[in-house]
Amino acid sequence: MPEQLSDIGLVGLAVMGQNLALNIADHGFRISVYNRTTATMEKFVAENPSTPGGLAGFASLADFVASLKRPRRVIILVKAGAGTDAVIDQLVPLMEQGDIVIDGGNANWNDTIRREKALKAKGLRFIGSGVSGGEEGARFGPALMPGGDFEAYKEIEPVWNAIAAKVDHTTGKPLTGAAPGKPIVGGVPCSTYIGPDGAGHYVKMCHNGIEYGDMQMICESYSLMANLLGMSAGECGKVFAEWNTGVLDSFLIEITADILQQKDPMTGGFLVDYILDTAGQKGTGKWTSVSALDMGVPAATIAESVFARYISAVKDERMAAAKILTGPKANVDGDRKAFIQAIHDALYCSKICSYAQGFQLMREAQKEYHWTLKFGEIAMIWRGGCIIRARFLQKIKEAFDRNATLANLLLDPYFKSEVDRCQANWRQVVAAASLNGVPVPTFSSALSYYDSYRAERLPANLLQGQRDFFGAHTYERTDQPRGRFFHIDWPEPGRPQLEA
Ligand code: 6PG
């Protein structure tokens, strides 16, 4: 038994785990760490001899568990999936009634629901917490989305609030400490209890789906500047840097400006011009889209951003197709400055639609899983620490403060007026892209979403006619109350119409 018991423990010392452990220790909590490969743990502890809370490393999982204060609180930060189950299986026999297991990985919410139930049956408590912000966030302040048993959440709340990023109470602006790792004075922590069982991981997944959308929209903006205006990567980067001072101010726009201006150490050209155009992914954007399809939520723009990664991945096929298939030659003249502003507005409107879809998805999910999600709080904790952090999220928070049951962000007066202001440019960009053969899957999908959502009448009347024709699937009538279903004996194909 060690002389001093630790406040919390962490299993899994890859970069995220190491950084989160250091963040916890920086805030005065003593933390025990364990890693499957002992040498990694030993090196980590040796390299960090003086943290305010203290780090204690253990080569045996039993000693690690024994080193923790009761109720024990163990964070697991390993590769999501089977790895998490394997660690839980090893931990369970070593833990006692009331102890708490916290999964900080990018787990699928269904796994979290299953694990919570299984652990509850054994008298243990389980928290599935979204952790966003990458390596830097884990080290100096991530956004945290904990879900699970509320009493168990209360046991980890002081740690979660301490290590999370912080934003200003009124403006929502991210706050920084005197230096990295130095405590931030005041501010609202970017962490809040999300809801029972898988709610935290579900919301984290939606964050990632939105992240996929944001990234693809930024890529489309860059593509339009490069392909229609002939701008160099460096020139595009400067435009993004300027955009980062306005309504699009966000982490992803900021890093895009830097990435585009980065020179290649090998050639001296712009690095981005040498990066192969095939996107990878770990699956959270796909999960978001599958969940939207399962629940009947039209999150088309988010799904398009996943498909855009898929089509980028078939590089060889695209290279072959490029030699066969034809399209227009890009030809845009006119006011370059005005067109860059139009791209800005197209990105802004598309972003509003993508977030509208993400929040609609969460709204449906809460009905499906019996959660009560607080959308204003979710927008607030996404203001700092996470990958999608942006000034824009303050406006979303304010929209849900105005109306907690807002059906769609597009209906909020602020967002409505912003889309009114910018939509002519948005349409111009989508039209120009289409006429010039530049793919803009998320811009055009978002515009179709907007036009569909505001349409009183869509051509689904004909679709219902088709369904009734070949499958007697019935239809409702415009001149009858909803819920009454009709069918007629359609004539055989090619036969004359029925008489009225
Ligand atoms: C975060 C990120 C992170 C995610 C990466 C990569 O919130 O810190 O969302 O969780 O793993 O962004 O995701 P892909 O590999 O799927 O692009």
Which residue's alpha carbon is at the smallest distance from atom 7 of ligand 1? Answer: 132
Q: Ligand 1 test: best mutation among 144, 190, 201, 208, most atoms within 8 Å of CB?
A: 208
Using alpha carbons, list the distances in angstroms from residue 435 to 62, 328, 329.
Answer: 65, 7, 9
Does 178 score more than 70 pLDDT? no
- Please state the rounded mean pLDDT for residues 151-161: 97
Q: Provide the mean pLDDT of the chain.
A: 95
pLDDT digit string, tens, across residues 226-274: 999 999 999 999 999 999 999 999 999 999 999 999 999 999 999 999 9
Q: Ligand 1 test: best mutation among 106, 219, 250, most atoms within 8 Å of CB?
A: 106
For residue 207, the CA-to-ligand 1 centroid distance in Å is: 9
Does 169 score more than 90 pLDDT? no
386 CA: nearest ligand 1 atom: 7
Regarding the beta carbon of 19 and ligand 1, being less than 6 Å apart is answered no
Does 172 score more than 90 pLDDT? no
pLDDT digit string, tens, across residues 295-337: 999 999 999 999 999 999 999 999 999 999 999 998 888 899 9
Which residue's alpha carbon is at the smallest distance from atom 1 of ligand 1? Answer: 132
Regarding the beta carbon of 84 and ligand 1, being less than 6 Å apart is answered no
Does 493 score more than 80 pLDDT? no
Catalytic residue numbers? 204, 211
Distance between CA atoms of residues 169 and 265, nearest Å: 43
pLDDT band at 495 (very low <50, low <70, confident <90, very high): low
Regarding the beta carbon of 208 and ligand 1, being less than 6 Å apart is answered yes
Which residue's alpha carbon is at the smallest distance from atom 14 of ligand 1? Answer: 281
For residue 284, the CA-to-ligand 1 centroid distance in Å is: 8
Does 1 score more than 70 pLDDT? no
pLDDT digit string, tens, across residues 62-114: 999 999 999 999 999 999 999 999 999 999 999 999 999 999 999 999 999 99
Q: Ligand 1 test: best mutation among 139, 282, 310, 382, most atoms within 8 Å of CB?
A: 282
Regarding the beta carbon of 284 and ligand 1, being less than 6 Å apart is answered yes
211 CA: nearest ligand 1 atom: 9
Regarding the beta carbon of 133 and ligand 1, being less than 6 Å apart is answered yes
Report the range of poorest mean pLDDT among 44-53, 65-74, 119-128, 413-422: 44-53
- Please state the rounded mean pLDDT for residues 170-175: 88
Does 127 score more than 80 pLDDT? yes
Does 222 score more than 90 pLDDT? yes
Does 153 score more than 90 pLDDT? yes
133 CA: nearest ligand 1 atom: 8
215 CA: nearest ligand 1 atom: 17
What domains does the chain contain, in order, with CATH numbers?
A: 8-197 (3.40.50.720), 202-374+389-453 (1.10.1040.10), 462-500 (1.20.5)
For residue 208, the CA-to-ligand 1 centroid distance in Å is: 6
pLDDT band at 491 (very low <50, low <70, confident <90, very high): confident
For residue 205, the CA-to-ligand 1 centroid distance in Å is: 9
- Please state the rounded mean pLDDT for residues 282-299: 97
Q: What is the pLDDT of residue 56?
A: 96
For residue 387, the CA-to-ligand 1 centroid distance in Å is: 8
For residue 72, the CA-to-ligand 1 centroid distance in Å is: 29
137 CA: nearest ligand 1 atom: 8
Regarding the beta carbon of 211 and ligand 1, being less than 6 Å apart is answered yes
Q: What is the pLDDT of residue 221?
A: 98
Regarding the beta carbon of 386 and ligand 1, being less than 6 Å apart is answered yes
204 CA: nearest ligand 1 atom: 7
pLDDT band at 186 (very low <50, low <70, confident <90, very high): confident
Residue with tokens 């004909």: 462
Does 116 score more than 80 pLDDT? yes
- Please state the rounded mean pLDDT for residues 3-13: 95
Regarding the beta carbon of 387 and ligand 1, being less than 6 Å apart is answered yes
